[in-house]
Amino acid sequence: MLHVSLSACITHATSHNGTTMASVVLHAMIQLITRAATALPRRSGVQKRRLLSDRKGSLDHFRSRNLLLNCTKASMMAASPIFMEIATEEAARAQDGALDEYEPDWQELFADFHKKVFKTFGRIMTTVSMQRGLEWLAVRALPLRVADRLTKDASKSALRKLRRMSGWTAFAKLARTCLYSSAFMYLSQFLFDEAALLVRYARAVRRRRGGGTPHAAPPPPLFPPGILAVANEPLQPPPGAAHDDDLDGRALLRQALLRARFYALAPLVSSAGFAVGSLLAPTVVWGGIAGAWLGDVAASALF
């Protein structure tokens, strides 16, 4: 319709003055307007999201708000084993029929709490930095749609999906979204833990080459005194892990395979928990986050 009206105007204008140049210019304008009109996206009931719109900045985790959140998260992660130990002790005393009230030694329990918080905070910031680096590489090396899936904000995506779907379809879509978007997070944590395991192995080799024993003098520190001196201390091994002094090649391989199994299966459990939490609380972002966290806890207990 627009094309016909403008063509009629051109015919009327050129019939009076006979200017060929004006006719050419107006005809070119018609072509440009027509192409622009046909290139406009058709509107639908659901507004399309721009690809990579959920991607976080490479240095966003160094902002004051995110630093405070990560510090709080590190404190909670460092304190959770302490309270689990207290709960386990109280349950054991109740099972044995102890009548006296259990009084935990808070000073002993929280003696090295600041060091644990420092290590956990350093692990969080390092793994997030590695995750942002992997996302940067994905945007430049992978197709745009694949990179968008790997950098998507799962919580925001859950709110968008739950507006137009429900039931098992929503569960499958939410679980898949969480699985894709958390892939780099689990990969960075796996690489960090493997690197920490190699550090423990290198420390054990240094002790053995120096003829050291568990009661011998420690080897020279890896870092100078100061805030980095905390890194000179032995890393806390996970439950059931071999001690640094007993960590040989076979134990190193076993621990590496156990961690690989955990990081291969934990995303599946966490994604299922995220989908359940999002369906139970479809209007808030914290539902999926809480479900994913419970999934991680379940995966730690299972694997």
Q: pLDDT tens-digit profile of 117-171?
A: 999 999 999 999 999 999 999 999 999 899 999 998 888 888 888 888 878 888 9
- 132 shares its domain with 164: no
260 found inside a domain = yes
Say what the pLDDT of residue 225 is: 47
Q: What is the 3-state secondary structure (H, E, C) of the chain?
A: CHHHHHHHHHHHHHHHHCCHHHHHHHHHHHHHHHHHHHHCCCCCCCCCCCCCCCCCCCCHHHCHHHHHHHHHHHHHHHHHHHHHHHHHHHHHHHHHCCCCCCCCCHHHHCCCHHHHHHHHHHHHHHHHHHHHHHHHHHHHHCCHHHHHHHCCCHHHHHHHHCCCCCHHHHHHHHHHHHHHHCHHHHHHHHHHHHHHHHHHHHHHHHHHHCCCCCCCCCCCCCCCCCHHHHHHCCCCCCCCCCCHHHCCHHHHHHHHHHHHHHHHHHHHHHHHHHHHHHHHCCCCCHHHHHHHHHHHHHHHHHC
- 162 shares its domain with 137: no
Say what the pLDDT of residue 254 is: 85
**Domain count for the chain:** 3
40 found inside a domain = no
- 160 shares its domain with 291: yes
- 247 shares its domain with 271: yes
- 214 shares its domain with 136: no
42 found inside a domain = no
- 180 shares its domain with 262: yes
52 found inside a domain = no
Which CB contacts under 8 angstroms, 24+ apart, belong to 241-250? 243/214, 244/200, 244/203, 244/204, 244/207, 245/204, 245/207, 245/213, 245/214, 246/204, 247/200, 247/201, 247/204, 248/204
- 126 shares its domain with 251: no
239 found inside a domain = yes
Say what the pLDDT of residue 217 is: 52
- 91 shares its domain with 116: yes
Say what the pLDDT of residue 23 is: 62
101 found inside a domain = no
- Phi, psi for 217 (deg, rounded to 5): -65, 140
- 165 shares its domain with 255: yes
- 166 shares its domain with 297: yes
Say what the pLDDT of residue 183 is: 93
Residue pair 6/26 in contact (Cβ under 8 Å)? The answer is yes
Structure-block tokens of residue 277 = 């939490």
- 230 shares its domain with 114: no
In whole angstroms, what is the distance from residue 193 CA to residue 139 CA?
25
Which CB contacts under 8 angstroms, 24+ apart, belong to 274-278? 274/154, 274/158, 274/174, 274/175, 274/178, 275/170, 275/171, 275/172, 275/174, 275/175, 275/178, 276/171, 278/158, 278/162, 278/170, 278/174
Residue pair 238/193 in contact (Cβ under 8 Å)? The answer is no
Structural domain containing residue 201: 152-303
Centre a 10 Å sphere on the Cβ of residue 286 and count the other Cβ atoms it contains.
12
Nearest to 81 by CA among 229, 245, 238, 291: 238
- 134 shares its domain with 254: no
168 found inside a domain = yes
CA dihedral (65, 71, 77, 80) positive or negative? negative
64 found inside a domain = yes
Structure-block tokens of residue 253 = 């391989």
Nearest to 15 by CA among 5, 6, 23: 23
Tens place of pLDDT per residue across the chain (303 aa): 444 444 444 444 444 444 565 565 556 555 654 554 444 344 344 445 678 888 888 888 899 988 998 898 889 888 888 888 888 888 887 777 766 677 788 888 888 888 889 999 999 999 999 999 999 999 999 998 999 999 988 888 888 888 888 788 889 999 999 999 999 999 999 999 999 888 888 888 887 777 555 444 555 554 444 444 444 444 444 444 445 555 677 888 888 888 888 899 999 999 999 999 988 887 777 788 888 878 887 887 776
